[in-house]
Amino acid sequence: MEAGFGTMSPEAWLIDESEDDQKLPFRQNPKEFISPNKLAEIGILFWHLDAKKYDIEEELKKFQESKGLNYMDFLELSRGKGEDCEEKLKDFFQEHVHAEEEIRYCLEGGGYFDIRDKSDHWIRVWIKEGDMIVLPAGLHHRFSLDTSNHVKLIRSFVKEPVWTSTNCSHEPLRRWSSLKAKNGFMSC
């Protein structure tokens, strides 16, 4: 699995800087889709697995073993399910980076990972049921629900999760210039 993409490619496109509802697609006009190869250049890995059989999915188990992932938890977000959920959604939509890879497997619903490319453009990657995505450490990103207003994810970690993020300002930055090593941590 480490070498590339699984049986399906994610839907990904450049987005406009719209201030509309964040769960909308934000496609540019004309639409500019992003190829799986471009995502791979950024360091994004993607697979589509059977979400109904996640507990017995052999490909998932092999991937977890190869990465030394020994802890996972479930995160369920549904818009309108209380202040705690709304606060999490607000935090996740703030542009941020992590010192570790972000590994997510979508079991239900859907959402968008917005990521910065090397030219400082936003790319929106749509994940849906069965999609597994790995964002490299140090990649500037944010997350939002899609119009389903619901997502249930498995979050995978090398050890007990310490979901630590560094929030970034909205000013344009040369985000990739501070890359210390391939897929290393980038400062904001």
pLDDT in tens, 110-122: 999 999 998 889 9
Predicted local confidence at residue 53, as pLDDT = 92
DSSP letters, 3-62, are: TS--SSPPEEEEB----S-TTS--B-SS--B--HHHHHHHT-EEEE--GGGTTT-HHHHH
Three-class DSSP category at 162: coil
Instruction: For residue 38, count other CB atoms closer than 10 A to its CB.
Output: 14
Neighbours of 160 (CB within 10 A): 8
What is the pTM for the complete model shown?
0.83
Residue range 2-22: mean pLDDT, rounded: 71
SS3 51: helix
116: exposed, middle or buried (C-beta count within 10 Å: 0-12, 13-18, 19+)?
A: buried
Query: Which residues are annotated binding-site positions for Fe(2+)?
Result: 96, 98, 102, 141
Q: List, in order of start, the domains of the chain with CATH numbers.
A: 11-16+23-178 (2.60.120.10)
Report the pLDDT value the prediction gives residue 166, as an integer from 0 to 100.
75
Return binding residues for Ni(2+).
96, 98, 102, 141
Most confident region among 73-77, 79-83, 157-161, 167-171 by mean pLDDT:
73-77
Binding residues: 96, 98, 102, 141
- The answer on pLDDT for 164 being more than 90 is no
